[in-house]
Amino acid sequence: MLNIAPAGAASDLDGKTPGGVYLCQVGPAISCGACCGLYNIQHLSRENLTHLLKGRTQRFARVPRTIEAIDRFGEETLGAEGRHRPMKNFHHCPFLGLIGPQQTTVGCLLHPRADGNKGIDWRGLSYYGAYACATYFCPTCRELAPRYKRMVRQAVDNWYDYGLMITETGMLKTFFEQVEKRLERTVDATDLEGRPAAMAVVQRFLAIKHTWPFADPETFRPANFFFNQKEYAPPAIDFKAPGAETSRWAPVLTALWSNLADWQALCAAESFLDRMAGDLSAALAAPPLPPR
């Protein structure tokens, strides 16, 4: 993820991003580090991740900018935080921290624009190396329709949900397609203007990894492995109901590691998602509030 710009500069980079909508840094408190392995930690929670990122940022501020000192920081960080990963072949970068004037944006501590680096790009010291860090873009950038990317960018209210969900191309596509089907038109970010109720439903969908009642607690892993290799993909759902594999919600049900033992469970899970799509389409069909 070069992919780092000063906070608030997202729209400036739209023209340079594959797929035309810049997703990596969206605003002062909304950004993503999923491709740097942000979520590939044990005991994943917003609180734990925030604690790790804050600690690294504070310690890195005191690190002299030399190759030896930066290497040592990386090693010590991984040593202290533990090297065991839920996805062992997916690197978790110890140089992810918090950047920006208020240090509220998840980002790269080695980036030339990060505090203390004085324009020097230290990403060559990372596992992936400077070129990969500067040029990688995840499949969502190319594969998700720009209007859906804009909807997410407009509605999201925290970095934790954003990074967990923005790589879920199939989930986002399926959800917004279901909404469009109900409305019989396409949706875009401008539809959210003056519609706080619609924003709230999109935020509810973006938080679904913590609220999904049909996940299998034994196997559920919120972090997405979105690279071409399917090494850590969720298992195909063993739908017990005949024809259930063709569910209109199949990509969402699968990505949420759903445990659907029978036809009733499938219907309940589909209804849960139908209600959310229905709530969003109703909120988008309502007239917008007048500007204040």
258 lies in the site for ligand SF4, by CB under 6 A = no
Minimum distance from residue 248 beta carbon to ligand SF4 (Å): 26
- Which of 10, 133, 164, 165 binds ligand SF4 (CB under 6 A)? It is 133
Footprint of ligand SF4 on 165-204 (CB under 6 A): 166-167
CA angle at residue 223 from 138 to 281, to 5 degrees? 75
- Which of 39, 73, 90, 95 binds ligand SF4 (CB under 6 A)? It is 95
- Taking the C-alpha atoms of residue 6 and residue 279, their distance in angstroms, rounded to an integer, is 35
According to DSSP, the β-strands at 30-31 and 25-27 are antiparallel
Minimum distance from residue 167 beta carbon to ligand SF4 (Å): 5
- Taking the C-alpha atoms of residue 133 and residue 129, their distance in angstroms, rounded to an integer, is 6
- Taking the C-alpha atoms of residue 210 and residue 205, their distance in angstroms, rounded to an integer, is 10
Q: How many residues bind ligand SF4 (CB under 6 A)?
A: 23
1 lies in the site for ligand SF4, by CB under 6 A = yes
Cβ distance to ligand SF4 smaller for residue 206 or 266? 206
Minimum distance from residue 6 beta carbon to ligand SF4 (Å): 15
CA count, 13 A, side-chain hemisphere, 34: 27
Footprint of ligand SF4 on 34-73 (CB under 6 A): 34-36
Footprint of ligand SF4 on 75-94 (CB under 6 A): 93
Minimum distance from residue 127 beta carbon to ligand SF4 (Å): 7
Placement of tokens 């991984």 in the chain: 78
Minimum distance from residue 287 beta carbon to ligand SF4 (Å): 33
252 lies in the site for ligand SF4, by CB under 6 A = no
Q: What letter would DSSP give residue 289?
A: P
CA count, 13 A, side-chain hemisphere, 255: 24
138 lies in the site for ligand SF4, by CB under 6 A = yes
Q: What is the dihedral of CA 227, 229, 232, 238, to 10 degrees?
A: 110
Are the C-beta atoms of residues 158 and 254 closer than 8 Å to each other? no
21 lies in the site for ligand SF4, by CB under 6 A = no
99 lies in the site for ligand SF4, by CB under 6 A = no
- Which of 85, 86, 128, 274 binds ligand SF4 (CB under 6 A)? It is 128
- Burial (0-12, 13-18, 19+ Cβ within 10 Å), 213: exposed
Those residues whose C-beta lies under 8 Å from the C-beta of residue 58, and which sit 6 or more positions away, are none
Task: Return the sign of the alpha-carbon dihedral for residues 190, 196, 198, 199.
Answer: positive
24 lies in the site for ligand SF4, by CB under 6 A = yes
- Taking the C-alpha atoms of residue 177 and residue 160, their distance in angstroms, rounded to an integer, is 24
Task: Count CB neighbours of 15 within 10 A.
Answer: 9
Q: Map residues 108-127 to x or -, x wherever contact with ligand SF4 holds by CB under 6 A.
A: x-x------------x--x-
Among 82-90, 136-144, 199-207, 252-260, the segment contacting ligand SF4 (CB under 6 A)? 136-144
Cβ distance to ligand SF4 smaller for residue 82 or 124? 124
- Taking the C-alpha atoms of residue 218 and residue 52, their distance in angstroms, rounded to an integer, is 25
Binding residues (CB under 6 A) for ligand SF4: these are 1, 3, 23-24, 32-36, 93, 95-96, 108, 110, 123, 126, 128, 133, 137-138, 140, 166-167
